[in-house]
């Protein structure tokens, strides 16, 4: 029963995160379509958002690969 509850909580977190990410993506697309956001600034925002994750993954793979 506890395992089922833990799985349900995990799925709930995944759904919540997915909804939040989808809402943010839709908001960015709306701003892009309205001309409020340029494609270049969207690209820059995406790169800034992804570099910490890439850095973390590189460190993690370095430590666990060797």
Here the tokens at position 39 are: 């494609």
User: Which alpha helices (DSSP H) does the chain contain, by range?
Assistant: 2-34, 39-65
pLDDT tens digit sequence for 2-60 = 788 888 888 888 888 788 878 877 887 888 888 887 888 878 877 777 767 667 766 66
Angle (nearest 5°) at CA 35 between 30 and 18: 25
Give the end-to-end CA distance of the chain in Å, rounded to a whole number.
39
What the block records as the tokens of 16 is: 């919540």
Question: How do the domains of the chain map onto residue ranges?
Answer: 1-35, 38-66
**pLDDT of 62:** 61
Distance CA 4, CA 23 (A): 28
């Amino acid at each position: 029963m506890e395992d089922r509850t833990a799985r349900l909580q995990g799925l709930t977190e995944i759904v919540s995160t997915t909804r939040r990410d989808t809402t943010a993506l839709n908001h960015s697309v709306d701003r892009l379509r309205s001309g409020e956001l340029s494609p270049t600034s969207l690209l820059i925002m995406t790169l800034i958002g992804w570099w910490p994750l890439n850095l973390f993954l590189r460190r993690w793979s370095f430590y666990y690969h060797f």
